[in-house]
Amino acid sequence: MTQTWFITGSSRGFGRNLTVAALEAGDRVVATARKPEQLDDLVEKYGDDVLPVALDVTDRAAATTALQAGVDRFGTIDVVVNNAGYANLSPVETTPEDDFRRQFDTNFWGVYNVSTAALPFLKAQGAGTVVQFSSVGGRVGGNPGLGSYQAAKFAVDGFTRVLAAETAPFGIRYLVVEPGGFATDWAGSSMQIPEVAPEYDETVGALIRLFDGPVVAAGDPKRAGEILVRLVKQPNLPSHLLLGVIAVEMAQSYSRDQIAQAATWETVSRSADFDQDYPVDLIDTEA
């Protein structure tokens, strides 16, 4: 069945590879980007099956306009993909507030804007799939220097869980994608890395030096795009999909640690309820 995709950030990285994968599968794509002329080669190759649209995801009205353009051209929007995003790398304490907010505006509010703008179209159809690009960092967190980016990804996850519960009667499906390290330009030209204060050299500085070196990105974005196109065409979706060995191993380790910690502190946690024994001994984790 031919589907129509609406993909943000289609000019490079995951968005570009997903756009190509969908077109190669015989689907149609509303490919959005800040500079849609960067998609001219796709128009030349795939013709009327791709509609380039200018979109800044921080502008909700523009998101509605872009979605309407897709419906006017193709008649429907079957899959909405929130992929657009970026990160700058600096300590939370010293990141200028306007920079922290700008990152959050794109990485969370951009997802909010496109998702909520899409809901009237998807509800009217009685069907549709929303794919939210997060990160394994949006599950496990804790990477020094990525405070705004990872906070936004955690927010995207919580936001999407609520949307899934609220819109369940409308036939709308949701998938949160959590990649690990992939061979994209995520840590490339769009990432700003200011000088780091000496007291953060051991933490944030270490990550910066990692990015400055020959980083080996194990993930193939072309494969990722093909996997997602195949998956979305299936009748049942997982709520979350980890992509890449690094993501799987990090997530499994994090989940095991969470379960172990909950079990260790279970008696203390339970004692907060009226009908439970109280007080109870606190746990000596160094014993």
Report whether the peptide linkage leading into residue 279 is cis, meaning its omega lies within 30 degrees of zero. yes
The active-site residue, picked from 46, 112, 149, 174, is 149
The active-site residue, picked from 10, 153, 174, 200, is 153
Question: Is 46 part of the annotated catalytic residue set?
Answer: no
Q: Which residue has the tokens 């160094």?
A: 286
Task: Supply the DSSP string of the chain, one letter for each residue.
Answer: ---EEEESSTTSHHHHHHHHHHHHTT-EEEEEESSGGGGHHHHHHHGGGEEEEE--TT-HHHHHHHHHHHHHHHS---EEEE-------B-TTTS-HHHHHHHHIIIIIHHHHHHHHHHHHHHHHT-EEEEEE--THHHH---TTBHHHHHHHHHHHHHHHHHHHHTGGGTEEEEEEEE-SBSSSTTTTT---PPPPGGGIIIIIHHHHHHHS-----B-HHHHHHHHHHHHTSS---SEEEESHHHHHHHHHHHHHHHHHHHHTHHHHHTTSTTS--S-PPP-TT-
Question: Is 45 part of the annotated catalytic residue set?
Answer: no
The active-site residue, picked from 90, 115, 134, 148, is 134
Counting every residue, how long is the chain? 287
Separation between Cα atoms, residue 55 and residue 9, nearest integer Å: 9
Separation between Cα atoms, residue 56 and residue 47, nearest integer Å: 24
Question: Is 135 part of the annotated catalytic residue set?
Answer: no
Separation between Cα atoms, residue 142 and residue 159, nearest integer Å: 20
Name which of 122, 111, 114 is nearest 78 in CA terms.
122
Catalytic residue IDs: 134, 149, 153
